[in-house]
Amino acid sequence: MKKHLVVALAYDRLCTFEFGCTVELFALERPELGVDWYEFAVCAVEEGPIRAAGGITVQAPYAPDLLARADTIVIPGWRDADEAPPPQLLAWLRAAHARGTRLCSICSGVFVLAAAGVLDGQRATTHWRYAERLAQRYPHIEVQPDHLYVDNGQVITAAGSAAGLDMLLHLVRRDHGARIGNLVAQRLVVAPHREGGQAQFLPRPMAQGEQGRLSRLMDWLRSHPAQPHTVASMAERAAMSPRTLQRQFQQATGLGPVEWLIRERVAIVKDLLEEPDVPLAQIAERAGFGSEETLRHHFRRLTATTPGAYRKRFVLR
């Protein structure tokens, strides 16, 4: 049976980190997983030495004709968001898209997909520094600047560098299920999926003492999700006024404390749904939602799917 071929693009002034994440995810053999793992290749899309960030040089063994066989193409960060990609590269990507090839970008790599026209009328994300530029330059794209990654099915875009790892793990989960995705994440020593958006990573000043109290409160809430929590009770535990708690949560995460807690609870629900024998009523109680109805409402609102559909998609029986 033909293996799924993942091709990473290489070009001069390559973004080393994003490229390295792609290599780490797909190039390593993983016989311990017991699945038909990917075939991986690096394709040079232009002639000449391929210089990468950090003063290294990459030698890509394959020419662009390999793209005709690719099942997934990954575009690491593009060398300059203001530099137009070569027309031939755009033509290759349009042809791949027409064949049904899955196209993925990390960080500024989205500008290559945008220039190819394969994102017109679709949602997309990129690093928060580039989001406004992307929206202004390509008004037919629905830019979602707070997302870590956006999955449109055939075209998937990721935000800044580390969000590329989130997206690549998401692809593994799509292709092989939650159990395999979790095992790969464990090997990488990262979380299988992160909740929240880019707003939590924007530079915002915060008083050191308040930051410590807020961090301790978050850790406590994560370990006690089933208890009833209100803004008042959270503020009391953090030794802050409710107004200060609201302000510090907004500065630290881009969310109010109640919405942050709901998202943490949904993350717990996802983990529990990946255990096929845990009833939904028990999951609702353990995650702190209290009822299945409340769980379903917030789960659909934040994931655009139902608990049943999520479990069917990600649980390997």
Query: What span, in angstroms and rounded, lies between the C-alpha atoms of 293 and 238?
Result: 30
pLDDT in tens, the chain (317 residues): 578 999 999 999 999 999 999 999 999 989 888 899 999 999 998 887 888 888 888 888 888 889 999 999 999 999 999 999 999 999 999 999 999 999 999 999 999 999 999 999 999 999 988 999 999 999 999 998 878 888 888 999 998 878 888 899 889 988 888 788 888 888 887 766 665 555 444 444 444 445 578 888 988 998 899 999 999 999 999 999 999 999 888 877 778 899 999 988 998 898 888 887 889 999 999 999 999 999 999 998 888 788 988 888 766 54
Which domains are delineated in the chain?
A: 5-188 (3.40.50.880), 207-317 (1.10.10.60)
Residue 82: phi and psi, rounded to 5, are: -95, 0
Q: What is the CA radius of gyration of the chain?
A: 21
Residues 21 and 164 sit within 8 Å (Cβ to Cβ): yes
CA proximity to 74, closest of 214, 140, 172: 172
This prediction has a pTM of: 0.66
